[in-house]
Amino acid sequence: MNQRILLIIIIINLFCPVFAFNPDSLVQAGNRYYVSNDYQKAADIYQLVIDSGFAAPELYFNLGNSYYRMNNYALAILNYERALLLAPANKDIKFNLELANAHVVDKIDIIPEFFLKRWLRDLTKIATSNTWAILSMSAFILFLILLMTYLFSAKRLMKQLSFYTFIISFMISVICFVFSAQRRKMLTERQHAIILAPSVTAKSSPDEYGTNLFILHEGTKVEVVDSVDLWNEIRISNGNKGWIQKSAFERI
C-alpha cells in the first residue's frame, strides 16, 4: 500500500460514505504490517486513520513505535509527545519517549520549575478537559442546591452546614472550570514542537542575517513563543531563545 493508494482510500471515504472504511480494520492491518516488520506501511496506515479524524493516544503511540523501529527518532518523539498529551499518565508512552529521547544529540539542561506550578500542571493532566468540565458543572449544581437549602431551611444547624458546604462546592466548581480551560489550552494552543530538520541554527533575529546563537538537532523539543512571517522564536529548556524557520519543526 503506497501513498497513492492511501489517497484513493481517503477520497472514497470522503465522497462515497457507503464505502467508508472501518478504522478498526485499518488499525488491525497496520498492526499486521508492524508485526511483519513492514514499519513504513504500518506508519502509513496509522497516519491515514489519524488524518481521517480518529486520532487517539494508542494510534499516536503505534505510529511513534513504527518510526522508532525505522530509526526516525524525531518523528517517533513527535508522536510519543502527541500520545502523551492525550494520555499523560500512560507509563508505556513515557517509557518509549525516554528511549527515543536518548537518541537526541542535544543534551540541554532544564531550568528547575517552581514546585507549585509543576504540581498544578500535573494535577490538571489527571483528567481530560471534558471530565474537568463535568466535575465543574456537577459541583455548581450542588452549590445551587445547597444555596437553596441555606436560604429556605428553617433549621439553624442545617443552615450552618449548608452555608459552609455551598461555599466549598462553589470553590470546587471554579477550580475544576480553570483546570478544564487549562487542559483544553494544552491541546489547542500547541505551544511546543519537535525539531525535524537534521540541524538548524537559531538566529538572534527573524532573518538570515541575524547572529548565530546556537544549533539544534532533530528530535529536540522546543517551545514556540512568537512568530514573524516564516520565522518562529523558540525557547529551549535552559531558557535560551532564538529564531528558526517554521519548516525546521512541527508542532506537537
CA separation for the pair 31, 23 (Å, rounded): 12
Return the percent helix, strand and coil in the chain, to nearest 5.
60, 15, 25
Q: Pick the residue with more confidence: 15 or 39?
A: 39
- Domain stops at, among 101, 128, 158: 101
CA separation for the pair 75, 81 (Å, rounded): 10
Residue 18 domain flag = yes
Which residues is 241 bridged to in the sheet? 235
Range with lowest mean pLDDT among 32-41, 175-184, 210-219: 175-184
DSSP-assigned states of every residue in 138-191 = HHHHHHHHHHHHHHH---HHHHHHHHHHHHHHHHHHHHHHHHHHHHHHHHHS--
What's the predicted TM-score (pTM) here?
Answer: 0.77
* 17 DSSP assignment: G
Q: How far is CA 47 from CA 57, 79, 127, 140, 181, in A?
A: 12, 10, 26, 40, 28
CA separation for the pair 112, 193 (Å, rounded): 20
Domains of the chain: total: 3
Q: Mean pLDDT in the chain?
A: 89
197 and 141, same structural domain? no
240 and 181, same structural domain? no
Provide the b/e sequence for 1-23 (b: ≥16 CB within 10 Å).
beeeebeebeeebeeeeeeeeeb
20 and 86, same structural domain? yes
Residue 216 domain flag = yes
162 and 131, same structural domain? yes
Residue 224 — very low, low, confident or very high, per pLDDT cuts 50/70/90? very high
- Domain stops at, among 69, 101, 133: 101
183 and 241, same structural domain? no
234 and 169, same structural domain? no
76 and 8, same structural domain? yes
Residue 234 domain flag = yes
CATH code of the domain containing 247 = 2.30.30.40
pLDDT of residue 59: 96
Residue 38 domain flag = yes
The C-alpha cell at 188 is 489547542
89 and 17, same structural domain? yes
215 and 153, same structural domain? no
Residue 74 domain flag = yes
pLDDT of residue 11: 55
The parent domain of residue 23 ranges over 3-101
Computed on alpha carbons and rounded to an integer, the radius of gyration of the chain in Å comes to 24
Residue 132 domain flag = yes
183 and 197, same structural domain? no
- Domain stops at, among 46, 75, 101: 101
Residue 110 domain flag = no
171 and 207, same structural domain? no
Residue 58 domain flag = yes
63-80 pLDDT, tens digit per residue, is 999 999 999 999 999 999
CA separation for the pair 80, 43 (Å, rounded): 13
